Amino acid sequence: MTKYVARVLVRPKGEVRDPQGEAVLAALRSLGHDVAEVRTGKEIVVTFSASDEDSARTAAERMGDQLLANPVIEDYEIQVESPTGSRVPSR
């Protein structure tokens, strides 16, 4: 088994209101920044073991589907890195 690091980037879907993003937008504008839009999200970093890169990507996608993102209101993106620091290609 080899260790992998998955970065799960979770963001509200485009059609879902983002109150935190709206607050950040207002704050940036009050500071004088010419900002058109802000969408907030979260990054979840998971270190785990898998037998190979394909298994690691499958496991990370299951984590996103089952727990880390709410598919009703959120989209997510998975980035998996091998122990050497190289990124496993996205599907």
Separate counts of helices (H) and strands (E) for the chain = 2, 4
| Tally of domains within the chain | 1
Q: What is the pLDDT along the chain (91 residues), one digit of tens a residue?
A: 899 999 999 999 999 999 999 999 999 999 999 999 999 999 999 999 999 999 999 999 999 999 999 999 999 999 999 866 666 555 4
Range of the domain at 50: 2-88
Q: What does the pLDDT read at residue 84?
A: 67
* 28 three-state secondary structure: helix
Specify the CATH number for the domain of residue 32: 3.30.1280.10
CA distance 43 to 84: 21
Q: What does the pLDDT read at residue 24?
A: 98
**80 has which bridge partners?**
6, 88
